[in-house]
Chain A
Amino acid sequence: MKDGQVGVAIFAELDEGALVRVSLELASKARELADRLQTTAGAYLLGGPGIEAAAAELIAYGLDKVWVIEDRRLHHYDTLPYAKVLVRLIQQTSPLAVLYGATPIGRDLAPRIASQLRVGLTADCTGLEIGDYQAPGGKEYKNILYQIRPAWGGNTIATIVTPEHRPQMATVRSGVIKLGDKDSRRKGELVRLPADLDGAEFILRVTERVSAVRKVDLTTANIIVAGGSGVGSKENFKLVLQLAETLGGSPAASRAAVDAGYIDRDYQVGQTGTTVRPKLYIACGISGAIQHRAGMAEASKIVAINTDATAPIFSVAHYGIVGDMNQVIPRLIKAYRTKG
């Protein structure tokens, strides 16, 4: 196999045979980075029978080439077989960079691969750019991948580089990359390869699998009304739900509100929850600690309601209401229902 069969590659993650959203986002980003580097963009797609449709979709989102490894035994994710196949693929195709979704699977798989390949890996990137780097010794590197992520619990933003090792690898959270355009007429290449696994890799045995029915996908909500510990009680949280429903949006919560039992963890926004970029984010009784802001600071418009005028949330808000949400929310609902 010759060197450099692809420039920027992604690991395309499936959920019950369908591409997860972050994989489409990664395809868009890979296209953008590849164009910037004047190279190609591709995907490594592993799964059970019937994944060809996923390959076509990846090409439609901007990829030039998709390596398809279709094997019944790969239908469900399993660390060792997936890592083995991908390490081999990466070694054969010599990409400049490989991107993974910062999903539980991505964060289980990517470090295993990085360790085997002895390369660097940056987790949970909130930005990826191409730029130059000068090492402390003076050596210059051009057109390398800037892997940008929050560190120190979100209190700093770090730009990480891996100048000396290839591929450069990073995991990216869903909701960070704006989905590019889909063009179903786009042409790309499909390369089918056998899994080439002898069975010794399948050490784990899954005896039960429980699929949680996802109540809502916060990353696609245009309007989000979130409640924090300042809401005070599960009873008061009903107002948050009511405002969300009135405005046609989704409810959400800070980690503190989830921990207090006001709402299910599925609705948590923040560094350990979901990252969201809605048009409108209304934060009710949320102090605005860094870990929460990391999950919503990119919203187009932020409204903050809090009785504490010094709450950090007001620093990222476009509109601030210093008041009790138990009184303010009903007024907002009334104003919306009676708008001219």
Chain B
Amino acid sequence: METTTMKNSKNTNIMMMLNLFLGAVGLYLWWMIYHVLPKVSSWLTYNLLPIENGSHLGSSVEFFLYDTPKVMMLLFLVVFGVGIIRSFFTPEKTRAFLSGKSEFVGNILAALLGIITPFCSCSAVPLFIGFVTAGVPLGVTFSFLIAAPMVNEIALGLLYGLLGWKVAAIYMGTGLFIAIGAGWVIGRLKLENHIEDWVTETNVTGVTMEEEKLTWNDRIVYGWDAVKEIIGRVWIYVILGIAVGAGIHGFVPEGVMASIMGKDSWWSVPLSVVIGVPMYSNAAGIIPVVEALLGKGAALGTVLAFMMSVIALSLPEMVILRKVLKPKLIATFIGVVASGILLVGYLFNLII
């Protein structure tokens, strides 16, 4: 018996070393490929394809051929990394951590945990009920529900890769600010009686649950599964987003966006929110478009507002949440978050 366990642990060690080695080689290859992408895309566009250097079509095609592999590679790395971090967190642990926290501190923690807790908007309802019935305050629950889709690893990874760390940091900071602020405001409004009655009447039987013990190998598998799952789901949005971005990049004249989405037109921020809220896309699809808009002179605040309203507020999620929230609470939720986004948009147009 003892020899087999020893053998097993030796095997795991070997597996571990092998994984580390493969990981290092993979990372090195990733780095090499990532750095030759600009040359390859330019060569493909102008040497392999019969496209004239400097033409509109050329700059669109080059943008597309450069951004598609770049975005996919970044997604791969970020999703894998965050997948491993996420294997340490579960919604159950987050709930246990948040219940009984005071409101303001609770809002901050909930928004931060929203970034790293695995969450899919299709399970927003059971999660909402789980939080509220466990005594997590309503406002704190909302901070989590706002931060979880808005400030996520896909958005941060892509913003960092395409627009630099400053824009990524601004996005993360303002996204957290909105989640914390909006959650706090909703908490202050005392809307607990606008939760559908059956939620509070639900008798949670609480079946027993086994705590999973994960090894490092399990976590690597978890990260790998996340890559397959997320990239399998978003790749089509990424390609569509980049295609739209490429069109804007090549064919929209410089400065046109400055007059429509520039900082001098006061109505551009509310307009982007109004257009953005009913639109549904994930971060992976919208960020290539944002990159192209910024390149044509759109103001950062306006673009941030557009991106946030597309990602954070979506029609399908509202339909799902309607099952647990009465109309007035849904409307308040949309109103408060949209106001926060407006504020951020104006603020950045003012200071940058």
Instruction: Judge: A and B partners, yes or no.
Output: no
